[in-house]
Amino acid sequence: MSLAHSLARLIAHRTRAFSAFAAMVIFSACAPLASVPDLSLRVSGVEAPEKWRLYAGVTTEIPDLAHWWARFNDAKLDALIGRGLENAPDVRLAAARLRQARASRELAASGDYPTLGASARASRNPGGDDGGKTLYNAGFDASWEVDIFGRARHEVAAADADLAASAANLEAAQVTLAAEIARDYVQYRSVQTRLAIAAKNAQSQEETLEITRWRAAAGLVTELDVEQARGQLAQTRAALPALENERVASLHRLDALLGLTPGSLAPELDPQEALPQASLQIAIDIPADTLARRPDVRAARETLRAESERLYARGAERFPNLTLSGSFGWQTLSSAALGGSDSIARSLAATLAATLFDGGRLQSRIDLQDAAREQALVGYEQSLLSALTEVENALSALASGQRRASSYAEAAEAAQNAATLSGQLYQAGLTDFQQVLESQRALFFAEDNLIAAKSDTLTALIALYKALGGGWEKSATTTINEPEHANETTPNPS
């Protein structure tokens, strides 16, 4: 190992002199190849507004959104999201891609170091009176491509950006997963409650049908009232299968999100529980800070930086390559003499290679990468616009849901009073049966719509938390070594 270390130091010692020599040769003899296109990246045309259009109470303090679901005060929801963030297929896939990006970064960085190798060989040359002689060789060899024009450096920078993008994608997967689990859980509890309302109304209508039959038998009403009551009951019962199917579908979606087989969560979630309760008051920071916190926006930005760095690397390929190589070892006719000072053999060489004509291949590679960078730029702009749109849409949906829920709550209260009064008046013979049917129908729809409006409001709140970039936090899994220029959107040309 000491000999290999000595060889590496020898090559490193000569690198500066060879680099200076190579630079003079390149710029004097290869001037036509120095025509690298302008690789500067134009700034995105999307600018964050100063404030949200549908929200006035902006705060400059970033709210704590890492575990926003805890504000719903539902222990089962907390447990489901916790299990999902640990074992869900989407998160595991994103984590595997992060490990792949980390390995790719280490692979790219390994190009900065020389390649060292060791070999031993014995060869026999047949012929002669003594049957030939055996030549013994043993030693070390090394090669090093000197990164004069920064191709390898920009490849490493691109790998750094890919790693940062993969880490952001993992965080984005956590954000999406938490929101999807919460949304499907709210949907599941909503359908459970709507099923209970439909069953309660069906039971009430069964009692009304029995009363109507008794009154018809006593000659107080006609068979028309009986048939109307029977039809009303049948319509209410018809809603039960559709709601049950929706409940099962919501349950199976939760199973899939957690990587479980369909029905696995049924024993845990089948007992009916009310909708989660959450405060609808939420502090929102300025749009620029929201964009900076959203992991999907950061992933798009890092992808743009990676493609820009690769464009620099493709431009550097038009310049010559300087490779240093050397060997240190022994060569002797006797194996016993290996290691002796008389058998030492060493060499050191420098190779300067340049492509003079390739039919436009290098320029095509540059054009190809320039198109990839342009796509990344468009993707980055789209991510900014999507983020701003999602927040505004969620704010609008939240405000709309609150107004609808308030109106339906008033309607449900009025429908309950009307149903009670119409039933009492009908039994006293002071109103016709049509009023009873209408009041029961109105009560059913008002209660059902109230739960649906509350569910939509909670779903809008979940969408707002997701749009604000909530649902992830730094951990040992997502932490990466940020390069010095990690916060730069555009790399500096060298």
List pLDDT tens digits, range 157-175.
898 999 999 999 999 999 9
pLDDT at 329: 60
pLDDT at 481: 39
Helices 223-257/151-217 angle, 10° precision: 160
44-115+153-320+361-467 domain in CATH 1.20.1600.10? yes
Residue with the two structure tokens 């999807």: 180
Computed over every residue of the chain, the mean pLDDT equals 79
SS3 44: coil
Domain ranges of the chain: 44-115+153-320+361-467
Q: Does position 34 have pLDDT exceeding 50, yes or no?
A: no
Q: How far apart are CA 164 and CA 189, in angstroms?
A: 38
Q: What is the mean pLDDT of residues 200-228?
A: 85
Q: Does position 1 have pLDDT exceeding 60, yes or no?
A: no
| Distance from the first to the final alpha carbon of the chain | 36
Sheet holding 344-353, edge to edge: 115-125, 133-146, 321-332, 344-353
Q: What is the mean pLDDT of residues 380-408?
A: 92
DSSP state for residue 62 in the 8-state scheme: P
pLDDT at 92: 86
- In tens, the pLDDT along 105-124 reads 887 777 777 777 776 666 66
Contact 48, 388 (CB under 8 A): yes
Q: What is the mean pLDDT of residues 125-140?
A: 60
Per-residue DSSP letters for 234-286?
HHHHHHHHHHHHHHHHHHHHHHHHTT--TTTTHHHH-S--PPP-------EE-
Of 186, 177, 169, residue with least CA distance to 85 = 177
Q: What is the mean pLDDT of residues 18-30?
A: 44
pLDDT at 62: 56
Q: Does position 473 have pLDDT exceeding 60, yes or no?
A: yes
- In tens, the pLDDT along 134-149 reads 666 666 777 777 777 8
